[in-house]
Chain A
Amino acid sequence: MTPDTTTGDKTAGAVAGGATRGGVLKGGGIKGRGSGRPGGADRDSAGLSLTLRGLYRTFGTTRALDGLSLDIQPGEFVALLGPSGCGKTTALRIVAGFETADSGSVLVDGSDISAMPAAKRDMGMVFQSYSLFPNMPAIDNVAFGLRLRKLRGPDRHRRALELLDMVGLTDQARQYPHQLSGGQQQRVALARALAIEPQVLLLDEPLSALDAKVRLQLREQIKGLQQRLGITTLFVTHDQEEALSMADRVGVMRSGKFEQVDVPDQLYANPRTAFVAEFVGTMNRLPGTLTSARDVAVLDSVLTVRAGAADGLAGDVDVLVRPEGLRIKAQPGGNGIVTDRAFLGSVSRIGVRLCGAVAVKVDHPSAHAGDFTPGASVQVSLPAEDAVLVAARP
């Protein structure tokens, strides 16, 4: 295997270099484009809207999609996030045309493409597994879709080289897939998907087979290209960090439907359900009791939560709070004992066992975390504004 010699700097340079050219895909003039496509007219790099309308799909007795609906704006980058089996990949495959929905429809730029075969949808797709054609060098892989579109040899070659340059792999143009590292293969796959000027770019966990460093580089590269080309993108992942850092909006899925579709910071700060709260980021769950419409007894004190936070709840509740939402200070005879401490860079994550055997994680600036050694007595408190209330677990 050839080591991935292309560094993050080179990658960034390639993206920046492409940007100065104003985008290689514009004005490429692939023959036959514009006719017979959903929406009809030619388009520039602004992207097309994508709509999923009431998608249902059942495999045997398992309902993979349960009335999934989503509107994606032109040029928007939306991530589908959820645990294994939540239906996110099924949704993507239905959009790509590899699966058929039991009911519901997929619209591109307002036109229903549900009955259209995958080969006619103009959806660029990057797969989780390495999907390059092993018998072709990188440049032929990229040119494959152009060849099917009857682009002439010299033009095809030039455009394939431009796309390889865009992903920083010009030097590897003549190498076969087995001579490329995993990260390089996925970049060629990305160039191949973009070569056909797809209506929508579909990414099916393209980074999950890569190691952490390459994943980070490729994540930035994909996001940079998507922003520059303005291509509507649907990205499936089970990695919340990827979803939150790359997408304009993230749809958190569970059991075939959305729990919440929102921009990343809202998803993190204001999760609408306990599932979203606990799936996205690290969340502490503290037992509490509602003593009035907005007062909840938790951690030996009574908090007045924000209006609406306790709507529909009564009696025993669970209070959800992020590690950075809890306060901690060293205090003999406090309400908790430090169990562990992990250095995360600027903050340290401190594990505390509270009275009643409740374990919580508290983030504290590393510069001031020296006192919180395992066994130390601490006082953990909770500001009211950070509390999210949900029904207590049975």
Chain B
Amino acid sequence: MVRYIAKRLLLIAPMLIGISLITFIVMHLAPGDPTSMRYGLNPEVSGSARAELKKLYDLDKPVHIQYLLWAKRLARFDFGNSFLDDRPVMQKIVERLPATLLLNVCALAVILLIALPIGVSSAVRHGSLYDKVMTIIVFIGYATPTFWFALILMVVFGFMLGWFPISGLRPWYIEYYSSGRQVADLLWHLVLPVVAASFGGLAGISRYTKSSMLEVLRQDYIRTARAKGLPERKVIYKHALRNGLLPIVTILGFALPGLISGSFIFETIFAWPGMGRLGYEAIMQYDYPVVMGVGVIASMMTLIGILISDILYAFIDPRIRYK
């Protein structure tokens, strides 16, 4: 087990190099250089100021040295200061992280709570009317533009019915509430964004659960369990479910990129004060250092998610770690 974890951890190094390299390449795709992004439209900035900035970003050095310096700063999570307010990028990201984590953890929980039962029950009743209806719903869910779904949620439950707030996380008046009401208000604000963010994952994960469960139901030991006369309920919930749900642990790994990608869209739609909106706004305002910082941190979050799910998988399934 320790050896397996050590091996997985070692694999992280090349991935991190890959991530830093991709970010570096994208950064250099930009026409001109970061200094023209910042001062391009400002004729008052003198040549010497520009030269100074170039030096700050090591733009006067050869490309490979630039990359090494960038990687060195990255190792210390130093992404420089924002062009907009001159505050350290990392500080801005750290401020926004809790909201993003809250949204994604809740969305993941909702996905698991809804998608797992749907997947398992469709597999058990494979071919039934219920399974067919679920398959159609999943198909439609898979093809729905998630941002469009979010807009419809907003109109129906926000404007028309007025049940839930359509934007933000903590309104100004929250300070005046008791702590119990603060939590209630927070949950109330969470409803629509979480429903929207989990919607995209529901279809994929219920399908995945279904096929994994179907695979197990086809195994010999299930036939043996049935043959020895176990009640169907016991066959399914005791023998099949335990193995059928094993691969679900890997969901954490492959649902995360989707969820984090979704964050950029939903946080923008629902004016959610998270990292996704920070990143989107930085892109729209050409706030270079923030864009790079958000890109690196978001992909590192995915990397950590994959790592955790790999280790969990090896932990619960001995077949993996002895391979």
Partners in one complex: no
